[in-house]
């Protein structure tokens, strides 16, 4: 049975955090979740004015059914900002039920404040630090009476663009740098491969049966969002059209594209797609496992990414 937005259950008492909640899939996720009676939603965003505009739009759309929504300043290109945002949530909440790592950049050049290639740094490293910083709170949430195993969840948005990653996948020696010698699409593919590999490793290192927390990665499909705004001024070169043209002609509206992440974040009862996802699995829309490249299921590369990421994050996790 196909998953519909009306299948999203009531989310009474839940605390939710959505990164990139000011635009595209993130904004639509906040809107849909806000009408299911959660206790609070953190709309995490880098740009305060865009966050305020999104909040106004969401409240207008949701009307009297809108749950409390709080803007959380979060710049995933800065570890200091990530740590500050996580500390704010921890200081103000006794629980965190859902974390949707939705934010991302595509087509950008340069490095983050810590010197990581910008797409890898924002899409993977910033989210990795946020998740690891908030994971203790999520584990405590999962232990609460009346919370089923796997009901507390972290959903990480990957992409079918993981197919653009190079065969070696992770050029660790160059990830702290701009990777200027590597093409933009390959760099984006690396970041998206990292998203799904990291989710699978989180599930492995923090088993749902022991922690109660479920980790899922998803491909939202080809969706009309602002993610590629940085590409607007690029010349329409022939190779780019050939490489992604088929996908671009099948773009779906945000209201359709958001279904996979909302299914992964909320559904657990019933059968079929209403049963919900399994921890550590990568899903194409909606709820389809087993797709993606062979590299997506390379446990060795996923483990290498985990170990490298842990070493990079350790100084910030110890503070």
Q: Cis before residue 286, ω within 30 degrees of 0? A: yes
- For the sheet with 152-157, list strands across it: 69-73, 40-45, 15-19, 98-101, 152-157, 213-218, 282-284, 288-289
The tokens describing 304, both together, are 């290498």
Q: Which ranges constitute the DSSP H helices of the chain?
A: 24-34, 48-62, 79-92, 118-120, 127-142, 172-175, 184-205, 208-211, 238-248, 254-257, 259-266, 299-317
Residues 6+ apart with CB under 8 A from 192: 123, 158, 159, 161, 162, 164, 165
288-289 and 69-73 beta bridge pairing: unpaired
274 vs 287: CA distance, rounded Å = 9
How many angstroms separate the Cα of 45 from the Cα of each of 12, 70, 163?
A: 24, 11, 28
312 vs 163: CA distance, rounded Å = 25
How many angstroms separate the Cα of 307 from the Cα of each of 71, 112, 290?
A: 33, 20, 25
Which residues does the annotation mark as catalytic? 158, 188, 192
The tokens describing 58, both together, are 């969401």
Residues 6+ apart with CB under 8 A from 140: 94, 95
Kindly write down the DSSP assignment for every residue of 215-244, as one continuous string.
EEEE---SB--STTGGGTTS---HHHHHHH
28 vs 157: CA distance, rounded Å = 14
């Amino acid at each position: 049975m196909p998953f519909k937005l009306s299948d999203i259950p009531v989310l009474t008492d839940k605390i939710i955090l959505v990164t990139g909640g000011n635009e595209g899939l993130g904004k639509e996720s906040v809107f849909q979740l806000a009408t299911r009676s959660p206790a609070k939603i953190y709309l995490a965003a880098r740009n305060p004015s865009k966050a305020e505009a999104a909040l106004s739009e969401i409240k207008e759309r949701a009307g009297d059914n809108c749950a409390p929504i709080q803007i959380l300043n979060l710049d995933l290109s800065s570890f200091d900002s990530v740590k500050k945002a996580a500390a704010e949530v921890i200081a103000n909440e006794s629980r965190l039920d859902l974390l949707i790592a939705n934010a991302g950049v595509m087509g950008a050049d340069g490095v983050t404040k810590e010197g990581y290639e910008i797409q890898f740094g924002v899409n993977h490293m910033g989210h990795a630090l946020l998740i690891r910083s908030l994971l203790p709170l999520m584990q405590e949430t999962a232990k609460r009476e009346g919370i089923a195993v796997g009901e507390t969840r972290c959903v990480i948005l990957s992409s079918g663009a993981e197919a653009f990653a190079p065969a070696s996948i992770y050029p660790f020696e160059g990830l702290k740098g701009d990777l200027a010698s590597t093409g933009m699409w390959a760099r984006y593919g690396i970041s998206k491969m990292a998203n799904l590999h990291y989710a699978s490793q989180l599930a492995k290192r923090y088993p749902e049966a022991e922690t109660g927390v479920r980790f899922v990665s998803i491909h939202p499909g080809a969706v009309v969002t602002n993610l590629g705004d940085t590409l607007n001024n690029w010349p329409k070169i022939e190779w780019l059209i050939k490489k992604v043209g088929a996908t671009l002609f099948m773009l779906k509206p945000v209201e359709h594209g958001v279904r996979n992440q909302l299914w992964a974040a909320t559904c657990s009862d019933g059968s079929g797609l209403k049963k919900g996802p399994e921890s550590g699995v990568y899903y194409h829309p909606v709820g389809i496992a087993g797709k993606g490249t062979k590299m997506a299921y390379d446990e060795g590369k996923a483990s290498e990414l985990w170990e490298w990421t842990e070493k990079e994050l350790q100084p910030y996790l110890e503070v």
